[in-house]
Structure 1
Amino acid sequence: MFNLAHPKLVTLVESEGYAEVADFLEDHAMGSVVPAICMAPDCDHTADLEPDQRAGFCEACGRASMKSGLVIAGMI
């Protein structure tokens, strides 16, 4: 199920310079690395990670909480 309105996804999309989630997903759907964001409530660190990343290491807060934008949106 797609979740295009998730607050962390919207934050990630805006930080990447996109106005629309759909444009972000279209540009990154086939990438070998994609933008990811920390899912911790008090951290919005972003980095480029694997498209299927669900628990990547966040360099800002030190938690295994980085998630790919494609995973957040429900594409993967």
Structure 2
Amino acid sequence: MFNFDHPKLAALAETEGYSDIVDFMEDCALDSLVPAICMAPGCDYTAELEPDQRTGFCELCGRPSMKSGLVIAGLI
């Protein structure tokens, strides 16, 4: 099931310059590196990571909490 309503996904799309989450997903769906965001409360650090990343290291808060936008949306 897709989850385009997640607040972190909206923040990630906005950071990448998109006002529409569907457009954001379409543009990065086939890339080898995609935008990811830290899922830790209070941290919105973003980076380019693998499309299936679920526990990437956040360089800002130091937690293994980076998640790909494709994973957050439920596409992977």
TM class by shorter-chain length?
over 0.9
Q: Give structure 2 stretches of 5+ with no counterpart.
A: none
Cα deviation for residue 58 of structure 1 reads 0.1
- Please state if 1:39 is matched with 2:39: yes
Q: Which has the higher strand share?
A: 1
- What's the offset of the Cα at 1:72? 0.1
Question: How many pairs were matched up?
Answer: 76
TM-score under structure 1 normalisation? 0.99
How many angstroms does 1:36 deviate by?
Answer: 0.0
> Counterpart amino acid of 1:22?
V
- Percent of pairs identical after alignment? 71
Hey, which bits of structure 1, 4+ residues long, moved more than 2 A?
none
Equivalent residue for 1:68?
A: 68
Structure 1 vs Structure 2 CA RMSD: 0.3
Under a length normalisation based on structure 2, what TM-score does the superposition of the two structures give? 0.99
